[in-house]
A = this chain, B = another copy of it.
Amino acid sequence: MVVTLKDVAERAGVSRSAVSRAYTEGASVSEKTRKKVEKASRELGYSPSLIARSLATNRTKLIGLVANNFQNPIFLEVFDLYTRALQERGLRPLLVNLTNETNPEHSVQMLRQYNVDGVIVATSTLQPRFSRAFKNANMPVVHAFGRFEQGSPVHVVGIDNLACGRMAADTLMRHGYKKIAFLGGPQMATSTQDRASGFLSQLKASNIEIADVVYATAYNYDAGQEAMLELLGNQQVDAIFCGDDLICMGAMDAARNNGLAIPDDIGFLGFNDMHMSAWSAYNLSTIRQPTPDIILSSIELVVSLVDDPERAMETRIFPCSVVERGTLKPLKP
């Protein structure tokens, strides 16, 4: 039924090892036998079984891609980049959806059963105990979009959320806003905490008192809308820094539904610069996170970790930048 190494070997009149070697980069085979093997396998339509190879080599070419937010379109961009970049390197993503999962052991189990070569945790909202659990199970793990901190037990590739918070504060002040609020993502997410803390400290440093701080319950549109309604119930504000573009869109729609004009009555600054932020219905000024850089770098890192698990702990931080669009009033001259 299915063509195996043995069939090819017989047809080519060589040993099984010879066939195996013909398919192994840098193995010791003469040009003559390689040609014979190639011919035979072409005629038979042979393609080697990665499963069998995995068993022998203890390498599966599978990378666990762990995510827990399938509501935010930014993650479609993330998956797109990951799948393509992994594919190009001959690796395959094994997608693990941790929405509503609370027990790290389950996920460890899943990934270990498939013997993944490495794990990339691609989210900023998963509790650190998950990546730590993978680490403890002896898998090479990289936390992409994770928190940047000293002495982290896992490799991190991401951004400096504190610096980004400060950048957001500077941007709003530069645009002349005074009554500034923060509308963050879920409060237990480290990204939210850091963005908030950088933002608040920078305002304080300029002697501007924060007008309000609210947190959305999730990184999605509905939660943004709800949080904005809560905020509107409080005192007047003239600008809001949102912890995420999607949340920001929810907030903007809530503001408009309450008769507020953007940016005349109220300014918005988002975070991420997802594709949709450029849509004219939002035209969102935002802080861009260099997603492709983070993704590529996290792949490089996890790949190198496979060959050298004891590699020195590393955190790679990429700079963010402000993207000016239409949700902030023009700069003071």
Residues of A within 8 A of B (CB): 47-52, 54-55, 60, 70-73, 75-77, 79-80, 83-84, 87, 92-97, 99, 109-110, 112-115, 221, 249-250, 252-253, 256-257, 275-276, 279-282
Contact = CB atoms under 8 A, between A and B. Distances in A.
Contact of A93 (B73, B95, B99): B95
Contacts of A96: 83, 87
A137 to B, nearest CB: 9
Chain A contact residues: helix, strand, loop or mixed: helix
A80 B97 contact: yes
How many monomers of this protein are in the complex?
2
Given A51-B114, A71-B76, A281-B281, 6 more contacts: A47-B109, A48-B113, A52-B55, A83-B96, A252-B281, A281-B282
A99 B79 contact: no
Contacts of A109: 47
Contact of A51 (B51, B93, B97, B256): B51
A265 to B, nearest CB: 17
Contact of A97 (B77, B83, B250): B83
Contacts of A52: 55
A22 B70 CA distance: 37
B80 A76 contact: no
29 contacts: A47-B109, A48-B113, A49-B113, A49-B115, A50-B115, A51-B55, A51-B114, A52-B55, A70-B77, A70-B79, A70-B80, A71-B80, A72-B76, A75-B76, A76-B79, A83-B95, A83-B97, A84-B97, A87-B96, A87-B110, A92-B95, A94-B94, A95-B95, A221-B276, A221-B279, A249-B279, A252-B281, A253-B279, A256-B281
A65 to B, nearest CB: 8
A55 B256 CA distance: 59
B280 A256 contact: yes
Nearest to A58: B2
Nearest to A45: B137
A83 B280 CA distance: 32
